[in-house]
């Protein structure tokens, strides 16, 4: 656990660089907004979220998990199960929590105000996978802290979960189209780029599907899986109808203010 930061940063930058290389080499779709404007806004949000998290939450998730283990807090710290089973169950349960958190961010109007910052991106690429309003990030950390403490998730499982969720979010937002021979078998387990782009479609019933960031199981289990959009992957209109003026809404400041501005929305 002492090398936690290096593991996190190493995996993050490796996957980020790899995905960006792929989408530069063979992009699936052409962006409607200039790269520089989108990236400065999207990466600006990452920076703002990191600063806000540092300032407002004194303890990291893995440190919390270690504390829980010492104090005997949470389900897995009370019951006796083999270590490997606890790690597997922790990963699955945390992923279900994130699935429902994402679904509720779509269904509860107050939460949608924040999550629509992510969906207002008129183009989807690896940087979209990082584009979340800092307050959504903060709320999400709060949800994860409650889940980690209630379940007594071990620190190792927290670390594996965080690294893989992050890597998979970068992966499925990438502006690439995997060849059929890879995509078809992969989508039996994972949320691929084509499936996740359906979640970013302007058609409301399509936005409200494929909530999983990693495996497709929870969407199948809870009835939100969609394997096909009305339009083809190439013609799919991405973003939100409420934000047609893509350029004006792509600046860092506009994104920070977006949740607080009233805008009728059609997500319900
Ligand atoms: Zn979403």
Q: Read off the pLDDT of residues 87-120 as tens digits, 9 standing for 90 and up.
A: 999 999 999 999 999 999 999 999 999 999 999 9
Determine, yes or no, domain membership for 238. Answer: yes
In a domain, 265, yes or no: no
Query: Residue 130 domain-assigned?
Result: yes
Q: What is the mean pLDDT of the chain?
A: 92
Mean pLDDT of 47-71: 92
Domain-located, residue 267: no
Separation of CA 245 and ligand 1 centre (Å): 20
Place of tokens 């907004």: 33
Q: Provide the CA 80 distance to its chain's centre, in angstroms.
A: 32
pLDDT at 192 over 90: yes
Measured in Å, residue 105 CA sits from the centre of ligand 1 at 7
**Which domain does 83 fall in, by range?**
4-260
Domain presence at residue 268: no
Quick one: CA torsion of 154, 156, 159, 162, rounded to 10 degrees?
-60
- Buried-exposed string 11-47: b where 16+ CB fall within 10 A, e elsewhere: bbeebbeebbebbeeeebbebebeeeebbebbebbee
Q: How far is the C-alpha of 126 from the C-alpha of 39, rounded, in Å?
A: 10
Q: How many domains does the chain have?
A: 1
59 alpha carbon to ligand 1 midpoint, in Å? 27
Tell me the CA–centroid distance for residue 210 and ligand 1, in Å.
9
pLDDT digits (tens, 9 = 90+) for 123-163: 999 999 999 999 999 999 999 999 999 999 999 999 999 99
């Amino acid at each position: 656990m002492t090398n936690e930061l290096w593991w996190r940063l190493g995996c993050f930058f490796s996957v980020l660089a790899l995905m960006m290389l792929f989408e530069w080499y063979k992009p699936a779709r052409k962006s409607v907004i200039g790269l520089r404007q989108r990236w400065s806004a999207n990466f600006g949000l990452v920076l703002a979220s990191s600063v806000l998290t540092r300032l407002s939450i004194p303890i990291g998730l893995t440190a919390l998990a270690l504390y829980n283990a010492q104090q005997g807090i949470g389900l897995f710290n009370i019951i006796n199960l083999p270590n490997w089973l606890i790690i597997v169950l922790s990963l699955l349960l945390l992923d279900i929590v994130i699935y429902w958190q994402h679904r509720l961010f779509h269904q509860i109007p107050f939460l949608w105000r924040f999550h629509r910052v992510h969906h207002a991106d008129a183009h989807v690429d690896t940087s979209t996978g990082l584009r979340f309003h800092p307050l959504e990030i903060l709320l999400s950390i709060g949800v994860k802290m409650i889940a980690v403490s209630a379940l007594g998730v071990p620190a190792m499982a927290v670390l594996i979960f965080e690294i893989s969720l992050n890597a998979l979010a970068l992966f499925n937002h990438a502006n690439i189209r995997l060849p059929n021979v890879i995509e078809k078998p992969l989508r039996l387990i994972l949320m691929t780029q084509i499936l996740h782009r359906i979640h970013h479609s302007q058609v409301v019933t399509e936005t409200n599907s494929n909530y999983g960031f990693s495996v497709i199981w929870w969407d199948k289990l809870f009835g939100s899986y969609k394997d096909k959009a009305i339009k083809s992957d190439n013609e799919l209109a991405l973003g939100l109808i409420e934000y047609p003026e893509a350029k004006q809404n792509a600046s860092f400041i506009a994104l920070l203010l977006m949740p607080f501005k009233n805008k009728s929305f059609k997500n319900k």
